[in-house]
Structure 1
Amino acid sequence: MPAPDSYDAVIVGGGHNGLVAAAYLARAGQSVLVLERLATTGGAAVSTRPFDGVDARLSRYSYLVSLLPHRIVSDLGLDFAVRKRTVSSYTPTVRGGRATGLLVGGERTRDSFAALTGSDREYEAWQRFYGMTRHVAERVFPTLTEPLPGREALRERIGDPGAWRTLFEEPIGVAVEKNFTDDLVRGVVLTDALIGTFADAHDPTLLQNRCFLYHVIGGSTGDWDVPVGGMGALTDALARSARAAGAQIRVRHEAIRIETDGTRAEVTVRSPDSEHVVAARKVLVNASPQALAALLGDEPPAPAEGAQLKVNMLLTRLPRLRDRSVDPRAAFAGTFHIAEGYGQLAEAYRDAAAGRLPAAPPSEIYCHSLTDPSILGPDLATRGYQTLTLFGLHTPARLFAADNAATRAELLAATLAELDAHLDEPVTDCLARDENGEPCIEAKTPLDLERDLRLPGGHIFHRDLAFPYATESTGRWGVETAHANVLLCGAGAVRGGGVSGVPGHNAAMAALGR
């Protein structure tokens, strides 16, 4: 039999991290092959037209950009840009029988805090608290593309014992309750600790702290920006960069087995018309730790479980708000929080932990097209159509096990009812229709994400996030495995999760011996 084709590096999975790794390695002169089982690259960071006959390209699974270092965009010469949102968040509520809310962002922030709480105390506490997180972000974010610092080295680099205690040692609920008194303000702060993470504010494992940290350090500012052209614009740019540097990308090619002796590996590949083997000095796996174990025949890690509902909508217009003091274009331009008061989040967690859907499902929404209308066809943009993307919290995969479709429908109805409670008209009255006359709305549970993207348990981070410092088991870059020439370059790596490219960069650096 002829010898298999051989490469310096074979990358399993053409998601954004795999493409980052491919581009770096190819630009370093390596021969690189990317294997992607789906018909297109991009993984969860894609733009698609989910509604039949409707010219709207939505970022279907991942939405905003914060953790992507400018260094990666610059190093790889990516034709990719982001735009700032004019509003950070809007959280509607009812006080004294009157519809009101908290608008964060721009000149109205202080007045909004005062109108909601009756004084400047919460605003001043907000400024101090996020001044602290900004200080941490400026020191931690640059380390994400460096070899992992030790715990003590990172603590010294931060140089603020109070900040270290708040974010790395005590449950984040302690700081939230110490710094803020208003339930709504507390809830807005806590949400960053719960995106894609099923945990209580006082979870002793500090899982919520790890999630919070990654949500406030991005770009050294904590800002979450809108990808121009949708998330697919990033992965398309990455694929172009990788190909331009000489990497080969093969779609509909699925890696089904990896065999390695630590210096040379063979990857068995299944394509539409054959099954064959390719050889490589190194293999980089842009898939979950569970998938990596299956490919190697190793013992699988502990099961992962996602806990979110993802909903995409296309509207003919933005709905009117009961809070008439805020323009819907401002409210939906940032993150629109629903049922996310501090007490509501705790109650939703208790419901889900007890095995039932939250009575008041918490979620948050944003409108991509307000900041970047380029994702809409010219006719839709002219007619004022808008997209809404909703991310629901505290809905672990276990809740859908008995009947995914029925539970999805029940949860979606309850979630939209919580939104409607703050609107002057039902959001469903604003939904566009596709060419078949069906409303333009789709919902994805953790089980749907597992089926569509092979996210274990629908976990958007592949597994629980880790603090960004070295431990005995992490290795130099946080991408190493038990096999010297097999590296993990997906979201399950240390400093993984989110659309960042960081695991791809770090796996490439490890492969190059840097």
Structure 2
Amino acid sequence: MVAESKNFYDVVIVGGGHNGLVAATYLAGAGLSTLVLEQQSHTGGAAVSEQVFPGVDARLSRYSYLVSLLPDKIVADLGLSLELRSRSVASYTPVRRGGRDLGLMVERPEGAATRESFAALTGGDSEYDAWSAFYGSVGELAGVVAPTLLEPLVSGASLRNRVDPALWAALVERPFGEVVEQRFADDTVRGVVATDSVIGTFAGLRDESLIQNRCFLYHLIGNGTGEWRVPVGGMGAVTDALAAAARRAGAALVVNASVTSVEADGTRASITWMGGDGERSVDCTYVLANVAPTTLAALRGQPASARPEGSQLKINLLLSRLPRLRSGDDPRRAFAGTFHIDEDYSQLETAYRQAAAGAVPSVAPSEVYCHSLTDPSILSPSLVASGHQTLTVFGVHFPTRLFASDNDAARDESVRRVLGGLESYLDEPLEPCIARDADGNLCLEAKTPLDIEQSVGMPGGHIFHGDLQWPWVDDEAEVGRWGVETDVANLMICGSGARRGGAVSGIAGHNAAMAVLELRP
């Protein structure tokens, strides 16, 4: 991947993450000369698979884990060679009640065992009936919203008229905690529902800003189903397929290119970057910024805006075997989906209050994904044969502020509390189950928001580049736009900071490409 000698491109894309690659493929395929500049030594951004532990042949999805929002249409349009595999279990939640260790199991698809699991936990059918009715309504909303994500923006009013008005009011107009409390009685069931509203979003469940509502919506609308699938080969397989598609379409991909300046006046633009051969500049007609809006402002020499605040702790583990559970449930089934740890509704709210006050949560809500149960190809044959498994842990309510004064000490304490929470549901200590690398060290890696910012350039470690926005508009003047526009006509946001950005979706890249194709002569 070396820079071409051209001095002018139709389009320059700043950032070679998945959205930038999607945009590059669409634009180059439409005949526009397209250059992608990526500061790291590889494309992919945060959607990568890497050999994390020395001497251990396991390729972990290091930062982003699962795929839901990537539209099937983008996969088909770009001819991506990609397999997204369904997990056999949606979720499992270990629970300790009245001296008993239980597990709330939600199958995929849900069947009799799911209803029985709810009944064993709650003592009847009412909670599962409420669950089925709620997610049935959410599915109807997802079916309406999802097709609009790859179209020009529509008004909220037009969507509201197409769905259950009570559901719209509950999810869009009032804090999400209200509907959870109204529709569910059990603290654990409430928490399983509520956790999708705070993954990567630092907010209380009754926050009047409704950013938790927006987060919940994005977690449930992917392809109209909301299913989160495992990419075979890891997250890197997604962006490798995109990079291959971009090159086939004729885009130039340049790595180790750290952009230092973006200038655009509405008709012409210039990009300057530092590379292995020193400083270079190129002119272009359009610039697509696959970086956070705060990063783009700095590149344009504009006043600094408030830095986003991420809110997660990511822990990557390789186990020599899955640990036994106190509940007695089969760990290969329990860990096959999303394994919830200490995510009761009350625990989520307590953790939020403690973190908002600047303290590491005393009981740390988190969830675990074991990708290798669904996709063993990320492990070498010898690791598969010996029973090794990967675990990736997402700690909830670990905002950047907790790590500002001493990142290392706060990371260590946070890891201790998260893994201690997991271990409390195990029938044996966790550490003997953790594999060791070639140097004899535990195969354990932890990333705070500050670590993520340092590694992949997300300001504040915010995985969405900032607060998620509704995927529609209330201002009629914005209807028909693409949600990627800036104050300059030939400069657009094509990353997670776009109106319909967030997660590994490619939606912002697609929409920025469509906006360019509308503008070109």
* 1:24-60 deviation line (CA, Å, top 9, x unaligned): 0011011000000100000000000000011000000
Q: TM-score, normalised by structure 2?
A: 0.96
Cα distance in 1, alignment partners of residues 264 and 221 from structure 2: 37
Q: Which runs of 4+ in 1 moved over 6 A?
A: none
Q: Which amino acid aligns with 2:123?
A: G
Q: CA RMSD in A?
A: 1.2
2:378 alignment partner in structure 1: 375
Cα distance in 1, alignment partners of residues 263 and 99 from structure 2: 66
* 1:247-268 deviation line (CA, Å, top 9, x unaligned): 0001011211011221010101
Cα distance in 1, alignment partners of residues 232 and 79 from structure 2: 16
Structure 2 residue 344 is matched with structure 1 residue 341: yes
Total equivalences in the alignment: 510
1:503 alignment partner in structure 2: 508
1:49-68 superposed matches below 5 A: 49-68=51-70
Q: C-alpha displacement at 1:219, in angstroms? A: 1.5
Match of 2:34 among 11, 22, 32: 32
Q: C-alpha displacement at 1:301, in angstroms? A: 3.1
Match of 1:288 among 284, 292, 297: 292
Match of 1:155 among 154, 160, 176: 160
Cα distance in 1, alignment partners of residues 233 and 190 from structure 2: 34
Q: C-alpha displacement at 1:300, in angstroms? A: 3.2
1:83 alignment partner in structure 2: 85
1:14 alignment partner in structure 2: 16
For structure 1, the 5+ residue unaligned runs are none
1:51-130 superposed matches below 5 A: 51-105=53-107, 106-107=110-111, 108-130=113-135
Cα distance in 2, alignment partners of residues 396 and 267 from structure 1: 33
Match of 1:453 among 451, 456, 478: 456
* 1:117-141 deviation line (CA, Å, top 9, x unaligned): 0100000000000001100011101
SS in 2 for 1:395: strand
Is the Cα–Cα contact under 8 Å of residues 157 and 474 in structure 2 kept in the other structure?
Answer: no
Q: C-alpha displacement at 1:293, in angstroms? A: 0.4
SS in 2 for 1:513: helix
* 1:74-112 deviation line (CA, Å, top 9, x unaligned): 000000010111111011111110111210114310000
1:366-445 superposed matches below 5 A: 366-445=369-448
2:196 alignment partner in structure 1: 192
Is the Cα–Cα contact under 8 Å of residues 474 and 480 in structure 1 kept in the other structure?
Answer: no
Q: C-alpha displacement at 1:474, in angstroms? A: 5.7
Q: Which amino acid aligns with 2:337?
A: G
Is the Cα–Cα contact under 8 Å of residues 474 and 494 in structure 1 kept in the other structure?
Answer: no
Q: Which amino acid aligns with 1:481?
A: T
Q: Which amino acid aligns with 1:420?
A: E
Structure 2 residue 499 is matched with structure 1 residue 494: yes
Q: TM-score, normalised by structure 1?
A: 0.98
Cα distance in 2, alignment partners of residues 149 and 33 from structure 1: 31
Q: C-alpha displacement at 1:493, in angstroms? A: 0.5
SS in 2 for 1:388: strand
* 1:449-473 deviation line (CA, Å, top 9, x unaligned): 1111111111000000001112548
Is the Cα–Cα contact under 8 Å of residues 17 and 43 in structure 2 kept in the other structure?
Answer: yes
2:272 alignment partner in structure 1: 268
* 1:272-331 deviation line (CA, Å, top 9, x unaligned): 22101101100001000011101111233332100100000000100000001x210111
For structure 2, the 5+ residue unaligned runs are none
Cα distance in 2, alignment partners of residues 163 and 465 from structure 1: 20
Q: Which of 422-431 and 65-74 deviates more? A: 422-431
Is the Cα–Cα contact under 8 Å of residues 282 and 511 in structure 1 kept in the other structure?
Answer: yes
Is the Cα–Cα contact under 8 Å of residues 118 and 128 in structure 2 kept in the other structure?
Answer: yes
1:224 alignment partner in structure 2: 228
Is the Cα–Cα contact under 8 Å of residues 200 and 312 in structure 2 kept in the other structure?
Answer: yes
Q: C-alpha displacement at 1:225, in angstroms? A: 0.6
Q: Which amino acid aligns with 1:147?
A: P
Is the Cα–Cα contact under 8 Å of residues 4 and 279 in structure 1 kept in the other structure?
Answer: no
